[in-house]
Amino acid sequence: GAVVSQHPSRVICKSGTSVKIECRSLDFQATTMFWYRQFPKQSLMLMATSNEGSKATYEQGVEKDKFLINHASLTLSTLTVTSAHPEDSSFYICSASGGAGANVLTFGAGSRLTVL
Protein backbone atom coordinates (compact mmCIF):
# COMPACT_ATOMS: atom_id res chain seq x y z
CA GLY A 1 0.00 0.00 0.00
CA ALA A 2 0.91 3.66 -0.17
CA VAL A 3 3.42 4.73 2.46
CA VAL A 4 4.47 8.24 3.39
CA SER A 5 7.54 8.52 5.57
CA GLN A 6 8.03 11.61 7.71
CA HIS A 7 11.12 12.52 9.72
CA PRO A 8 11.93 13.42 12.38
CA SER A 9 9.05 12.19 14.51
CA ARG A 10 10.05 14.43 17.39
CA VAL A 11 12.32 17.42 17.57
CA ILE A 12 13.18 19.77 20.37
CA CYS A 13 15.03 22.94 19.52
CA LYS A 14 15.99 26.25 21.01
CA SER A 15 14.17 29.41 20.10
CA GLY A 16 15.65 31.08 17.04
CA THR A 17 16.91 27.93 15.35
CA SER A 18 15.53 26.41 12.16
CA VAL A 19 14.10 22.94 11.86
CA LYS A 20 13.64 20.88 8.69
CA ILE A 21 11.02 18.17 8.38
CA GLU A 22 11.15 15.69 5.50
CA CYS A 23 8.24 13.94 3.87
CA ARG A 24 8.80 11.09 1.41
CA SER A 25 6.40 8.99 -0.61
CA LEU A 26 8.08 5.58 -0.53
CA ASP A 27 6.25 3.54 -3.14
CA PHE A 28 4.50 6.06 -5.34
CA GLN A 29 5.14 9.39 -6.98
CA ALA A 30 3.39 12.32 -5.40
CA THR A 31 3.05 15.38 -7.59
CA THR A 32 1.14 17.06 -4.80
CA MET A 33 1.85 16.99 -1.08
CA PHE A 34 0.08 18.80 1.70
CA TRP A 35 1.38 20.15 4.99
CA TYR A 36 -0.89 20.34 8.01
CA ARG A 37 -0.51 21.65 11.51
CA GLN A 38 -2.49 20.41 14.47
CA PHE A 39 -2.69 21.83 17.97
CA PRO A 40 -3.81 19.60 20.86
CA LYS A 41 -7.48 18.63 20.68
CA GLN A 42 -7.97 20.70 17.54
CA SER A 43 -8.62 19.81 13.94
CA LEU A 44 -6.11 19.64 11.11
CA MET A 45 -5.17 22.99 9.69
CA LEU A 46 -3.88 23.04 6.12
CA MET A 47 -0.77 25.16 5.91
CA ALA A 48 0.23 24.76 2.28
CA THR A 49 -0.03 22.68 -0.85
CA SER A 50 3.26 21.63 -2.34
CA ASN A 51 3.61 20.83 -6.03
CA GLU A 52 6.70 19.20 -7.47
CA GLY A 53 8.89 21.68 -9.29
CA SER A 54 6.89 24.78 -8.44
CA LYS A 55 6.31 27.13 -5.55
CA ALA A 56 4.05 26.02 -2.75
CA THR A 57 0.60 27.53 -2.34
CA TYR A 58 0.15 28.80 1.19
CA GLU A 59 -3.14 29.13 3.02
CA GLN A 60 -4.25 32.51 4.24
CA GLY A 61 -2.47 33.52 7.41
CA VAL A 62 0.50 31.17 6.95
CA GLU A 63 3.78 33.02 6.60
CA LYS A 64 5.69 31.71 3.59
CA ASP A 65 8.98 33.12 4.86
CA LYS A 66 8.47 31.40 8.18
CA PHE A 67 7.46 28.03 6.82
CA LEU A 68 9.61 27.24 3.79
CA ILE A 69 8.38 24.40 1.64
CA ASN A 70 10.41 22.71 -1.06
CA HIS A 71 9.14 19.92 -3.31
CA ALA A 72 12.23 19.12 -5.31
CA SER A 73 11.26 15.67 -6.54
CA LEU A 74 8.21 13.49 -7.03
CA THR A 75 8.93 11.69 -3.77
CA LEU A 76 10.24 14.36 -1.42
CA SER A 77 8.86 17.52 0.12
CA THR A 78 10.44 19.41 3.00
CA LEU A 79 9.09 21.92 5.48
CA THR A 80 11.57 24.21 7.20
CA VAL A 81 10.41 26.18 10.21
CA THR A 82 12.74 29.16 10.24
CA SER A 83 13.71 31.02 13.40
CA ALA A 84 11.38 28.88 15.44
CA HIS A 85 9.64 30.29 18.50
CA PRO A 86 7.68 28.58 21.27
CA GLU A 87 4.37 29.43 19.54
CA ASP A 88 5.52 27.30 16.59
CA SER A 89 5.44 24.23 18.82
CA SER A 90 2.88 21.93 17.27
CA PHE A 91 2.27 18.63 15.49
CA TYR A 92 3.17 18.94 11.81
CA ILE A 93 1.80 16.33 9.43
CA CYS A 94 2.48 15.86 5.75
CA SER A 95 0.34 13.94 3.30
CA ALA A 96 0.42 12.93 -0.34
CA SER A 97 -2.32 12.05 -2.76
CA GLY A 98 -2.64 9.34 -5.33
CA GLY A 99 -0.87 6.44 -3.75
CA ALA A 100 -3.74 4.46 -2.30
CA GLY A 101 -6.32 5.32 -4.95
CA ALA A 102 -7.58 8.27 -6.92
CA ASN A 103 -7.54 11.35 -4.72
CA VAL A 104 -6.84 9.34 -1.57
CA LEU A 105 -4.64 11.16 0.93
CA THR A 106 -2.00 9.16 2.77
CA PHE A 107 -0.52 10.79 5.85
CA GLY A 108 2.95 10.65 7.27
CA ALA A 109 3.35 9.79 10.94
CA GLY A 110 3.75 13.43 11.90
CA SER A 111 6.50 15.47 13.52
CA ARG A 112 6.08 16.89 16.99
CA LEU A 113 8.03 20.11 17.30
CA THR A 114 8.82 21.60 20.69
CA VAL A 115 10.55 24.95 20.74
CA LEU A 116 12.09 25.90 24.07
For binding to another protein (CB under 8 A), which residues are involved?
A: 6, 32, 34, 43-44, 46, 49, 91, 93, 97, 100-110, 112
Query: CB of residue 32 vs another protein: minimum separation in angstroms?
Result: 6
Note whether 99 and 28 are within 8 A (CB). yes
Cβ-based nearer residue to another protein, 34 or 67: 34
Whole-angstrom distance, CA of residue 110 vs CA of residue 88? 15
Rounded CA separation 46/59 (Å): 7
Phi-psi group of 60: left, alpha or beta (phi > 0 → left; psi -120 to 50 → alpha; rest → beta): beta
Cβ atoms of residues 84 and 19 within 8 Å? yes
**Between 65 and 102, whose beta carbon lies closer to another protein?**
102
In whole angstroms, the minimum distance from the beta carbon of 2 to another protein comes to 9
CB of 70 to another protein, least distance (A): 18
Nearest to another protein of 32, 70 (CB atom): 32
